[in-house]
């Protein structure tokens, strides 16, 4: 599976401004709710924050992959965001995060969840893809960079 297949123009945001991990998770929750109205923004936010409490999803090299499983989620839902300025995300390497790939999966999709997380991490380990993502200046260019 290519992670680009999980994205659409409405779930890709380029060069966003944010001041904190909490604020970006709030923004993500609101944006996903607007794209998928059956998912509650408060439920998304709570699920993402609960997952972060288990350990940061900042995987290093400026990348975070906030993820959770939700009962109301009908299909794998994803969002890609680049930030104009990195934010503290409690990443394992203590570096600021500027690339965020969000993954929300149905509650019973454990195997798909793990496979998709592995694919996301593998994709972002490719320096060419990561550089293209960081250099994108529009959401359309960002979507093309991840494809």
Name the helix (H) or strand (E) containing 20: none
Judging by beta carbons within 10 Å of its beta carbon (0-12, 13-18, 19+), is residue 2 exposed, middle or buried? exposed
How long, in residues, is the chain?
A: 147
User: Tokens at residue 22, please?
Assistant: 């909490």
User: Is 33 assigned a catalytic role?
Assistant: no
User: Tokens at residue 61, please?
Assistant: 């090299």
What gap in Å lies between CA 69 and CA 103, rounded to an integer?
Answer: 8
Judging by beta carbons within 10 Å of its beta carbon (0-12, 13-18, 19+), is residue 54 exposed, middle or buried? exposed
What gap in Å lies between CA 88 and CA 73, rounded to an integer?
Answer: 28
Q: One of 31, 33, 67, 113 is an active-site residue; which one?
A: 67
Return phi, psi of residue 138, to 5°.
Answer: -150, 160
| Catalytic residue numbers, as ranges | 67
């Amino acid at each position: 599976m290519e992670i680009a297949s999980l994205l659409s123009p409405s779930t890709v945001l380029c060069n966003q401004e944010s001041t904190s991990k909490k604020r970006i998770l709030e923004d993500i929750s609101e944006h996903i709710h607007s794209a998928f109205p059956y998912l509650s923004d408060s439920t998304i936010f709570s699920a993402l924050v609960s997952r972060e409490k288990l350990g940061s999803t900042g995987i290093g090299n400026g990348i975070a992959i906030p993820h959770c499983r939700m009962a109301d989620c009908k299909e794998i839902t994803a969002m890609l965001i680049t930030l104009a300025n990195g934010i503290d995300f409690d990443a394992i390497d203590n570096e600021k995060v500027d690339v965020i790939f969000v993954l929300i999966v149905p509650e019973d999709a454990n195997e798909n969840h793990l496979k998709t997380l592995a694919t996301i991490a593998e994709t972002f380990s490719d320096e060419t893809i990561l550089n293209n993502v960081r250099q994108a200046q529009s959401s359309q260019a960002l979507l093309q960079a991840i494809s």
